[in-house]
Structure 1
């Protein structure tokens, strides 16, 4: 379903919901708002493009002042049709996998809450795998200039067209909730100079969360299942034609169906001027040769009036399974292709950063940040032609202005 058709369907469902409700129909109360980020960044590492996630077809190039990485604008409209029915629509324009700023529909949902403890939503939704799952693109919601790339930048198929169900109940001095969701995946990524998307993929997931005034704890799991990925079929056929048992075995391991699985534990602590947030995530990708690894991040800050200095740390290790293969000399060209495919998503990257946030006016925040990034291998850092970067080290300077309205 296209974004336009989905939007029309949501408005039709929302309008008809008033007539279906038991409460007397009233005129919907619409609210309009938005958010945005104006960002600039610089690093001096030649032939390296720094991007904040795998979806972006570009970012900040070496020795050039860049404005594309963090800059974005989002618009949102919501309406309450009655105490039980509501709708929310959100569109975001940001640098995407095609290298342009075409707006995307990030939310487009109808919400039904028959009781205080039950909520059902349907439409365009976000995969709920982060603490800020409902505000991933809202820079103002984050302490730092951007969420740590080593965790937040890896899973980009984070939208889906489907439904979710949330149950809530008081637990101790806080509120507990359980959510389950599923639908057709949306989202893509940019790698090796091309956009990769899988329209036949489905997303399912679940979260458990507990929060009180100072502490939030969350456990999340999500699985994206793609069924018609033919990107490695030519390699499979080429390996199958080599008269070598090990090559035949590797060919048999290449499938057109695969899973991307995310499982994470995260926590946020806010008490007085202190704030601390961390996440530990396990990620697997079952496409040949199967990758698995860990991503983790920590953001700590201390508010002094309108100023909030902070520190950030991120780490990712994402490695392929053992898939050693030595082809005979006549297949030297195929060996090069095979070695590149095996290591195409290998990532070993860490970042340490420091910055300060200045909330100089209501709904406005200015952030200045410096980060040291070291990567022995990375698919988040790319060359100007889109290839993954190996053995890179750079210092990134960032200034962003975040706002909401």
Structure 2
């Protein structure tokens, strides 16, 4: 039996389930209650990106084709997107939200995808429960990472946010608000799964996504700490790992070590932002260990900006460091017949090519945000990114002439808006 785990199908499942739950809630609602309150809004970004490296493409995450660099001198596919959100407040306890986003993906082009589709039940003034498709609370901007207008930069730092391109899960969560000594907290627990079509033939599936997040606010200070664990399967490079398994114990050991097949993946993040109004300072750090060719890595950034009326210049530093080497010896081919040794050499090259995609990189950036008018912002940003230690960094579509250790300049311009 073949099961279709395409994003469109899982989006329909989440939407259908949420609407069914909403219908049940409406049936239980008091007939004398006020009429439901509908809300509608949205956000969008029109962005253009240029990379001066002709041997790779710059992208915000591996699920976006990027196309800035080797593919095109300028690309609008990295950051451009349109999102629309429909909300329903049925009564003081029941509400629902549906958010649809159109952005460039590897699998579906600009086909609209369901980003959120959930029902919320306000059990008490401090406790709420949700079911459906829910945003993952892994980063400071986890709830609005795709809404460019809400961000000071053109895009979140790719070293950290690109490491976890998954932005939602299908499941349940519970959030509890509490205070202590004048400090406000929101503690959130969640459980779910997600399925992503990487290519027409390959899917990534995260099962039993279980996590805890706490957001603390005190005046201008916001701190969010999150942790998540999941069982991850990515059915890429099936021929490579099947070939390794044919080389006896050493090949089987390599396949077991690097294949993403029901591997436990853990994520821990910590971020803080201080924004008194005239200026801001924020930073985050995350550790991601997928126990496979996806790597064991740490990523972080620090960013600051100052507001002069409608202008906000900003600058930042980011890095990603991998504990997984970008190149290994692989299969020991000594003494093997030439045809078998040649096949083994190809397998070693293929495995090292995959390991090189684990980002080991540092970058600096500087930019300017201009709030042209209410709900519209124009941004210009310069990034200087340097992949290190044989890694491709966060770049994709890497060509044979790509040089790790060579700085790459990326220029971005965008118009962000909300409505």
Q: Same fold (TM over 0.5)?
A: yes
Q: What are the superposed Cα offsets for residues 287-341 of structure 1, whole Å, 9 maximum, x if unpaired?
A: 25x7212100112111011111100221101242696433235323323322432
- When residues 384 and 253 of structure 1 are mapped into structure 2, their CA distance, relative to the original with a 3 A threshold, is closer
Residue of structure 2 in register with 1:48 after alignment:
56
Residue of structure 1 in register with 2:395 after alignment:
381
Decide which of 209, 212, 223 is 2:215's aligned counterpart.
209
Residue of structure 1 in register with 2:418 after alignment:
404
Q: CA–CA distance in 1 between the matches of 2:251 and 2:171? A: 41
Preserved CA contact (<8 Å) 1:319 1:347: no
Residue of structure 1 in register with 2:4 after alignment:
none
Decide which of 178, 188, 197 is 2:203's aligned counterpart.
197
Preserved CA contact (<8 Å) 1:381 1:388: no
| Pairwise CA distance, 1:185 | 1.3
Q: Quick check: which one's strand share is greater?
A: 1
Preserved CA contact (<8 Å) 2:66 2:75: no
Q: Does 1:352 align with 2:364?
A: yes
Preserved CA contact (<8 Å) 1:158 1:185: no
Stretch of structure 1 that moved more, 92-101 or 213-222 = 92-101
SS of alignment partner, residue 238 of structure 1: helix
Residue of structure 2 in register with 1:8 after alignment:
16
Residue of structure 1 in register with 2:3 after alignment:
none
Decide which of 273, 284, 287 is 2:289's aligned counterpart.
284
Residue of structure 1 in register with 2:95 after alignment:
86
Residue of structure 2 in register with 1:293 after alignment:
297
Structure 1 length as normaliser, TM-score?
A: 0.90
Q: What are the superposed Cα offsets for residues 259-284 of structure 1, whole Å, 9 maximum, x if unpaired?
A: 33210110010113110110011111
Q: CA–CA distance in 2 between the matches of 1:139 and 1:276? A: 18
State how 1:2-401 maps to structure 2 within 5 Å.
2-21=10-29, 24-62=32-70, 64-98=73-107, 100-187=109-196, 189=198, 196-199=202-205, 201-226=207-232, 229-231=234-236, 234-242=239-247, 246-251=250-255, 253=257, 256-287=261-292, 291-320=295-324, 324-325=329-330, 326-328=332-334, 330=338, 331-342=341-352, 343-376=355-388, 377-378=391-392, 380-383=394-397, 390-401=404-415
Preserved CA contact (<8 Å) 1:40 1:400: yes
Q: Which runs of 5+ in 2 are unaligned?
A: 1-8
Q: What are the superposed Cα offsets for residues 126-158 of structure 1, whole Å, 9 maximum, x if unpaired?
A: 211011211111000100111000000111233
Preserved CA contact (<8 Å) 1:123 1:161: yes
Q: CA–CA distance in 1 between the matches of 2:168 and 2:186? A: 21
| Pairwise CA distance, 1:14 | 1.7
Preserved CA contact (<8 Å) 1:58 1:99: no
Q: CA–CA distance in 2 between the matches of 1:126 and 1:219? A: 15
- When residues 24 and 133 of structure 1 are mapped into structure 2, their CA distance, relative to the original with a 3 A threshold, is farther
Residue correspondences, number: 399
Q: What are the superposed Cα offsets for residues 107-133 of structure 1, whole Å, 9 maximum, x if unpaired?
A: 001001121210101101121101121
SS of alignment partner, residue 76 of structure 2: coil
- When residues 281 and 233 of structure 1 are mapped into structure 2, their CA distance, relative to the original with a 3 A threshold, is same
Q: What are the superposed Cα offsets for residues 206-243 of structure 1, whole Å, 9 maximum, x if unpaired?
A: 1122112300111111123135x554554444334436
| Pairwise CA distance, 1:54 | 1.3
Q: Which runs of 5+ in 1 are unaligned?
A: none
Preserved CA contact (<8 Å) 2:263 2:292: yes
Q: CA–CA distance in 2 between the matches of 1:48 and 1:172? A: 52
